[in-house]
Amino acid sequence: RFECLSNVTDINSSIRVTEDAVRLTPDDHPDEPRRLNNLGTSLLRRFEHLGKIIDINHSIRAIEDAVQLIPDGHPDKPGCLDNLGTSLLYRFEHLGNITNIDNSIGATEHAVRLTPDSHPDKPGCLNNLGTLLLYRFEHLGNITDINNSISAIEDAIQGTSDGHPDKPGCLNNLGTSLLCRFERLGNITDIDNSIKMTKNAVQLTPDGHSDKPGCLNNLGNSLLRRFERLGNITDIDNSIRATEDTVRLTPDGHPDKPGCLNNLGNSLLRQFERLGNITDIDSSIGAIENAVQLTPDGHPDKPRCLNNLGNSLLRCFERLGDITNIDSSIRVKENAMQLTPDGHPDRPGFLNTLGTSLLRRFEHVSNITDIDDSISTLQHAVRLTPDDHPAKSDRLNNLGNSLLRHFEHLNNITDINNSIGVIEDAIRLTPDGHPDKPGCLNDLGTSLIRCFERLSDISDIDKSIRVKEDAMRLTPDSHPDKPRCLNTLGTSLLHRFEHVGNITDIDNSIRTLSTAAQSNVGSPSVRFKAGIIWAQRAQKTCHTSLLMAYSTLLTLLPQLAWLGLPMRERHRELTEAGSLARDAASAAIEARQFETAVEWLEQGRSVVWGQLLQLRTPIDELRQVQPQLATRFTQVSNQLRQTSTPSHTSEAGDQRSLEAVAQEHRRLTAEWEAILGEIHGIQGFDRFLLPKPFSQLKGAAHSGPVVILNMSDAQCDALVLKPGWDNVLHIPLPNLTETTAEELQNELNKLLSEPGRLPSQLERLVRRKPLALDFNSKFKMILAQLWSDVVKPVLDVLAMTVRSDFLQSLPSNHSRVWWCPTGPLAFLPIHAAGVYDTPDPRNQCIFDFVISSYIPTISALIDNPQVTTPHCFQLLAIAQPNAPHHKPLPGTGKELKLIENHAEGIHFVPLIDDAATVENVIHHMGDSNWVHFACHGVQDISHPTNSGLI
C-alpha cells in the first residue's frame, strides 16, 4: 500500500512489524533469511522516501545477514543478492564511496548467474545490473561499463512481457544508459533511441505512479541533450515541460527532488541561451540554487549541482554585466572542483566551465591572473579529455579563446599561433551539422584577424573572411549568435578593405553590419556595436544608408539600457552610446531633415530618466477605456519604480537579498512590457509611451521659442521650435566647434576649481570676496565667446536682439527662450552669455533681451505643461548654510534676503537652516510656482541618481 500511495505511516508500520517478526524468529528458523530480506527491503523503501542514511545502513546489514544464511542453490538467493545490490547502490548514490558500487555490481552479477533464464525474476536482475553498471560508468568513465549496461537492460526488456508493471522501468533505464553513451561518444542514434525509450516509459507509467516523475525527468534530460546537439527548439520546449512536470509531481523532502530541480534549471538555461528571455535565466538560477540547498553535503550529485549553478550565473553575467554574478560563478565552480576527486569523469567538464568563467571575468576586469588561471585550467581540461570524447572540441575551442585574449593583452605571438592551432583542432573534431560548428569557425576567424593585425599576412585575413562566411551560412537567421557572426564578418571585411582597398569589401561590410544591427535576435550590445561601426563607415564613405544606421541605433537604445537592468548597469551600457544622438541629429541636419533631427535628439537623450518618467505616466485616458488594464499597469509601474531606486536596493541587505531584488525587478519589467504590449493593441493607444513624433514635439513651444543646441564633431547647429510654427527653424553655428566647446568647458572647470574655490562638479560656487582680475578676465572671455558664437546668432535670426527693459518684458512669453543644450554646451552658462568687458552701453548680454530657461528634453515642456497659476503667486526659497559634513555657506541667508526684497506682492516662503528639511521642501513645492535653492549640491557622475541637493 505504501508503494501505491506513498503514505509514510504505512512504511513505518511495515518496518515495525517486520522487526518484531525478525526478533521473534529463532536463529535456525528456515524463514529467518526471508524475514531479514523483507526488513531490508522495507528499510530501503523508507530510505527512498525520506533519505535517512541510517535506514540504508540497516537495510544493507539485514540483507547481508539474509544472504549469508541462504545456501547457494536456494531459490531465494538471487532475490536477496539483487536486493543487496540495490541497497548498496542507494548508499553509493548518497555517499559516493566506490566500494559500494563495486560490491553492488558483484552481488547483482551473482544474482544474475544464479537465476535461470526462464525465471520471472531474471529480467529484473538484468535491469538492476544494467543500472549499476551505468552508475559506475558515470563515476569512472569506463566505456565497457556503459556498453554492458545497455546490453543487460536490452536483455531485461526482451524478457519482460508487454503489460508487465516492470516494463516502463526497464525502458526508462535503457533510455538513461543510451543517453550516457551519447554524452560520451556523440552517436546521434543513441540519443534518438534514448528519447524513444523514455517516451515509451512515460506513456506506459500510469498517472499517480511513484515512478512517473523519474521517467519524465529522464525524458526531459534526453530532450535537452538532443537540443544541445541539433538545436531543434521543439526539443527544449518539451524538455522544460517534462522537467516542470517532474518537479511538480515530486513531493518536497523526496531525495530525488534536488536532481529534478537541477535538471529543470539546466533546461531553462539552454532555452535562455537560445531565446534570450531574461526570466528563463532567473528561473534557472532559482531552480538550481534550490537543488544545491536540498542536496546534502557529501552527496555525489552536489558538485554537479554547483557546477550547473555556476554555468547559469555565468550566462546571467554575460547578459546583465553584474560582476557579482561572475564572482559567484567562479566561487561555486571552484567548490565543485574541490568536491570532485581526481579521476572522476566529471572533472574535465568542471575544469572547462571554470576556465570559461575565469575568461569572462578577465574580459570584464582585465586581471592578468584570471586569464593565466583560465588557460592553465582549460589546458588541464583538454589533457584529461579523450580525443574521441564529444566535448573535446568545445574544450579546445574555449582554450583557443583564452589564448587569444592572452595575446590581445600581452602581444606574445606564440599565444595567437597556439590559439589558431587549438581552434583548428576543435573544428576538425566537430562533425558537420553540429550546432557548435559555426561558433568554432567564427572564433577561428577572430584569431586569424588578430594574427593579421600583428603580422600583416594577407592570407590570414582572407582565411578569416572565408571561415566567418562559413560560420554565417551555417547559423540560422533565428539563432542568437547570428548577429555576432555577421558583426565579426563585417569587421574582417573592413580590415581587408583598409589593407587592400577593394571597394567590394566596404559594400559587403556595410551590408553585413547592417543586417547584424537590424536583427531581431541576439544580444542588444552586439547589435549596437555592429550598428556603430555601420554608421561610422557610412559616414566616412558617404554611404546612402547613414540615416538608416542612426535610426537603427536609436531604436536599439532602450534595449541596450533595458529597464530590467539595475540603474548603474543601464548607465554603463549607455556609455557605449556616447554622442550617438548628437551625431545622428547632425547627419539628419546635413540631409536637411530637421524634423527627424529633433525626433532623434529627443529619442536618444536622457534615456534612463525617460524610463523613470514612463513609470509615472498619467493614464486617465486609458482608465476610461480599460480600467482594469490601467489599474494593473499602474500597480506594476509603482512596484517597478520602487525596485528601480538606489535606496530600495541598498536596504536589501546581503548579496542573496540583493539578487532576489534584482530578479524581482526583472520579473516586474517583463510583466510591465507584457502589459504595455496589451495597451498598444487597443485602438488609439498604439503609440502609448513610444517616442514622440515631431507633430507632438512642436507643441513644446507653447510658452516661447525652444532652442535645441546640437553639436557633433562634424558641425554645430541650433534647431528652433517657434510658437505656431509647423516646421523647424535651422540656424547654423559655423563659428562653434565641439573642440571649442570642450575647451570652454575645461577652462570653466579650472576656474571654478582654483584654490579658494569649491570644485565645480561637486559644490556650488560661493563668492565670499571680490574675484581676482585674472579670474574675471577669463570668465568674461568664456561668456563673450558663448555670446558671439552661440547666443547672438540665434537671437539675431529670431529678431530678439532689440534691447528692451528687462522688468517690463518679464510677463511676456515672447521674451522667454527655452534652451536645450547638448554635449559640452550643457555644462556652460548659456544664460549668462554676453560681453562684459567695459561699461559701454553697446555691449550686449543675453538678459538684456530674453529670459532664459533650461530643459533637459523637449518632452519636459509637453509632459508637464504650465499649470494654471494659483490666485496667489508663491515663491519658495530654501537656504541651507550649515549642512552637516559640508563647508558653511554663510552668504545664503543674504541671498534669500535679496530675493525677498524683490518679491513685493508675491507670497514668499523662506525655509532656512533647520526648517529646510526634505519633508518641508516637498510639502511646499506642491503649492509653489517658483523654487529657489541656495545650498550645496552633490553630483555623482558614476551613479547619477545618487546626485542631489544638500
Q: Mean of the per-residue pLDDT values for the chain? A: 86
Burial class (CB in 10 A: 0-12, 13-18, 19+), 529: buried
Position 763 scores a pLDDT of: 38
Band of residue 837 on the pLDDT scale cut at 50, 70, 90? confident
CA dist 236 → 219, 286, 525 (Å): 11, 19, 25
Q: What is the pLDDT of residues 91-105, one digit of tens each?
A: 887 877 888 989 999
Q: What is the pLDDT of residues 161-174, one digit of tens each?
A: 988 999 999 999 99
| Dihedral sign for Cα atoms in the order 796, 799, 802, 805 | negative
Position 812 scores a pLDDT of: 45
**DSSP assignment string, 432-498:** TT-TTHHHHHHHHHHHHHHHHHHH--HHHHHHHHHHHHHHHHHS-TTSTTHHHHHHHHHHHHHHHHH
Cβ(688)–Cβ(675) below 8 Å:
no
Q: What is the pLDDT of residues 176-204, one digit of tens each?
A: 999 999 988 888 999 999 999 999 999 99
Position 575 scores a pLDDT of: 66
Position 659 scores a pLDDT of: 63
Q: For residues 358 and 331, give the distance between their C-alpha atoms in angstroms, rounded to a whole number.
A: 10
Eight-state DSSP code of residue 811 = T
Q: What phi, psi does 845 have (nearest 5°)? A: -135, 155
More confident residue, 662 or 268: 268
Band of residue 756 on the pLDDT scale cut at 50, 70, 90? very low
Question: Domain coordinates of the chain in residue numbers?
Answer: 1-115, 250-331, 618-688, 700-863, 874-949
Q: Are strands 874-879 and 937-938 parallel, antiparallel or unpaired?
A: unpaired
CA dist 784 → 744, 763, 907 (Å): 11, 25, 36
Residue 948 has pLDDT above 50, yes or no: yes
Burial class (CB in 10 A: 0-12, 13-18, 19+), 160: buried
Biggest CA-to-CA distance, the chain: 128
Q: What is the pLDDT of residues 15-51, one digit of tens each?
A: 888 888 888 888 888 888 888 888 888 888 888 888 8
CB atoms within 10 A of CB 790: 27
Q: Does domain 250-331 have CATH number 3.40.50?
A: no
Burial 89-117, CB ≥16 within 10 A → b, else e: bbbbbbbbeeebbebbbebbbbbbebbee
Q: Among 301, 373, 288, which Cα is nearest to 330's?
A: 373
Q: Does domain 1-115 have CATH number 1.20.1250.20?
A: no
Q: For residues 911 and 160, give the distance between their C-alpha atoms in angstroms, rounded to a whole number.
A: 90
Q: What phi, psi does 254 have (nearest 5°)? A: -70, 135
Highest mean pLDDT range out of 641-655, 725-739, 812-826? 725-739
Cβ(709)–Cβ(718) below 8 Å:
yes
Residue 614 has pLDDT above 80, yes or no: no
Neighbour order of strands in the sheet with 706-711: 729-732, 716-721, 706-711, 816-821, 851-854
Cell of 609: 530618466
Residue 641 has pLDDT above 90, yes or no: no
Q: Please give the angle made by the CA atoms of 550, 554 and 557, to the nearest 5 degrees.
A: 140
- The answer to whether the 1-115 and 250-331 domains have the same CATH topology is yes
pTM of the model: 0.75
More confident residue, 639 or 790: 790
What radius of gyration do the chain's Cα atoms show?
Answer: 36
Q: What is the pLDDT of residues 783-823, one digit of tens each?
A: 999 999 999 999 999 987 665 544 344 444 448 899 999 98
Cell of 665: 525587478
Averaged pLDDT for residues 867-893: 81
Position 617 scores a pLDDT of: 66
Q: Cα 800 to the chain's mean position, in Å?
A: 52
Instruction: Give SS3 for 889.
Output: coil
Q: For residues 548 and 531, give the distance between their C-alpha atoms in angstroms, rounded to a whole number.
A: 10
Q: For residues 279 and 663, give the distance between their C-alpha atoms in angstroms, rounded to a whole number.
A: 8
Q: For residues 441 and 632, give the distance between their C-alpha atoms in angstroms, rounded to a whole number.
A: 48
Place of cell 528561473: 283
Cell of 239: 524538455
Averaged pLDDT for residues 525-544: 93
Q: For residues 180 and 177, give the distance between their C-alpha atoms in angstroms, rounded to a whole number.
A: 5
Position 648 scores a pLDDT of: 43
Q: What is the pLDDT of residues 320-337, one digit of tens each?
A: 888 999 999 999 999 999
Residue 597 has pLDDT above 50, yes or no: yes
Burial class (CB in 10 A: 0-12, 13-18, 19+), 688: middle
Q: Are strands 874-879 and 851-854 parallel, antiparallel or unpaired?
A: unpaired
